[in-house]
Structure 1
Amino acid sequence: MKEKERRSSDNSDLKKTLLRYKEETNEDRLPQQAYIIIQKAIRNLQLQPNEAFLEREIIEMLEMSRTPVREALIRLEMDRWIRLIPRKGFTVEPIVKENIEQLCQIAEALEGVAAELATLHIGEELLEILDSLIANQEKYLKENNLKAYLDIDNQFHNLIVESSRNERLKNIMDSHSDQLYRARLFTINERELPVRSIKEHRAIVAAMRAQDSKAAQLLMHSHRHRGGQEILRIIENKPRTKKKE
């Protein structure tokens, strides 16, 4: 009975979160709306790795009909966010070393190139925005607000990618960055405080301000490699998340 009550409470909290995401979504098409909401819940770990849910539970939580939710779930499986269970529901994809290692390799290579290209295009106004993002990271770090720190970190990296003016590079990074964010959020409380990351961010911006594109590339590549190795070590040593029945 207690397990049933706990499950009901968990679902109630999740429903509130999903409906909040629904209100925030600027999307009229219901299948796309359902996709965005569910993907965001997985990304932010409101739906945990390996967590199992029935399709009808998600339909009820989203207050939608079956068709758009089903379309969203099929797309989410194609994008490797979930695994569909025939005639039942779905299981959230686990966070495993092999997958995250590949994501980290992509981020190392492409964000290094993005930093190089951004150096050729970026102006002082955007450099000052990067400076302000670093200052906010320091603020949140002092407050031990690691979730807010991570969100600002994401903005920092996304701005550099956008400043590369390479649309294909940006599209590739967009397709993987949320998966990498989920892994970083999953491990953030077990990593060392990211003081070193802030120093590396400052060095990247300094290279960009000096218009040294090769230095910016190398610094970004090294930064992403070191951070990725930290994440991978933690994931390797973490016990696998058990499925909720």
Structure 2
Amino acid sequence: MSVERELEYNELKQKLIEIASKSDEQRLPLRAYNILRIAIKNLVLAPGQTILEREIAEALEMSRTPVREALVRLQTEGILTLIPRKGFNINPIKKNDLKEIYEITESLDGLAVELATTKVTKEDIKYLKKLIILQQEQLEKNDLYEWSILDDQFHAELINFASNSRLNSVINIHADQLYRARLYTINNRPIPYQSIIEHNAIIACIEAKDKNAARLAMQSHRKRAWSEIVNILDD
């Protein structure tokens, strides 16, 4: 292993160890899967990067069998691809794939907010408003990474408040891909003050118990976000 490659490996190992320290999953294949999924979602493993089964197993201090199971599962989910004799390649972020995902998400998130409007409590709304305040604070600090985490949390909480496990499961299939795309393009997009405005508008509709307006506000929010991302991917 070259000196440069060894430095890259040691850096990756440290980041994977940090992710692993936050996981309480004990079953090795699922533990490996969760660690790798989070690493890909957060661009620790970047689009187009090639990883070796052996190196991942060594970094996670596991045998290669659970790591292989995790990699194969991620491949079936379309997140990475096996390149014979070279390892696994993290799939790039493709515009057409994202377009389809955003079309689905726009409709499903709209439905989730519509359902949540009739179910949220005052405490739920208070919590959502707190997340928006925290987002604003991160923008003032110019910390777009922390803003992205809070943005993802805001949308996840709205979906949870819909109290529909099947809807939640369908949306979660694509959630990581959306987050990865937002994180990948965030530094080249306008600073997301508009997102704060739109989040507040969604909450206002929910407080007014206007589920149709809440749904339209969420769909408009998703559509605007997609228009920004597609411009970056075109460039």
Counterpart-to-counterpart distance in 2, 1:6 and 1:88:
18
Counterpart-to-counterpart distance in 1, 2:3 and 2:98:
35
Deviation per CA, 1:62-103: give whole Å up to 9, x if none.
Answer: 111011011111101001111012343100010110111111
1:243 aligned residue: none
Deviation per CA, 1:187-209: give whole Å up to 9, x if none.
Answer: 00000011111011101000000
Q: Per-residue deviation at 1:111? A: 0.5
- SS of corresponding position for 1:25: coil
Kept in 2: contact 1:119–1:216 (CA 8 A): yes
1:143 aligned residue: 141
2:111 aligned residue: 113
2:152 aligned residue: 154
Kept in 2: contact 1:43–1:181 (CA 8 A): yes
Amino acid in the other structure paired with 1:165: S
Q: Per-residue deviation at 1:144? A: 0.1
Do residues 181 (structure 1) and 165 (structure 2) align? no
**Higher RCO structure (Cα 8 Å, ≥6 apart):** 1
- SS of corresponding position for 2:136: helix
TM-score by length of 2: 0.97
Amino acid in the other structure paired with 1:227: A
Task: Give me the CA root mean square deviation.
Answer: 1.1
1:64 to 62, 65, 74: 62
1:13 aligned residue: 11
Counterpart-to-counterpart distance in 1, 2:212 and 2:89:
43
1:104 aligned residue: 102
Q: Per-residue deviation at 1:229? A: 1.3
Structure 1: which 5+ residue stretches go unaligned?
A: 238-245
Amino acid in the other structure paired with 1:181: Y
Kept in 2: contact 1:81–1:93 (CA 8 A): yes
Amino acid in the other structure paired with 1:91: N
Aligned length: 235
Counterpart-to-counterpart distance in 1, 2:15 and 2:34:
13
Do residues 95 (structure 1) and 66 (structure 2) align? no
Structure 2: which 5+ residue stretches go unaligned?
A: none
Kept in 2: contact 1:55–1:88 (CA 8 A): no
Do residues 79 (structure 1) and 80 (structure 2) align? no
1:55 aligned residue: 53
Q: Identity percentage over the alignment?
A: 45
Counterpart-to-counterpart distance in 2, 1:106 and 1:160:
17
1:222 aligned residue: 220
Counterpart-to-counterpart distance in 2, 1:157 and 1:69:
31
Counterpart-to-counterpart distance in 2, 1:161 and 1:48:
27
Counterpart-to-counterpart distance in 1, 2:192 and 2:118:
28
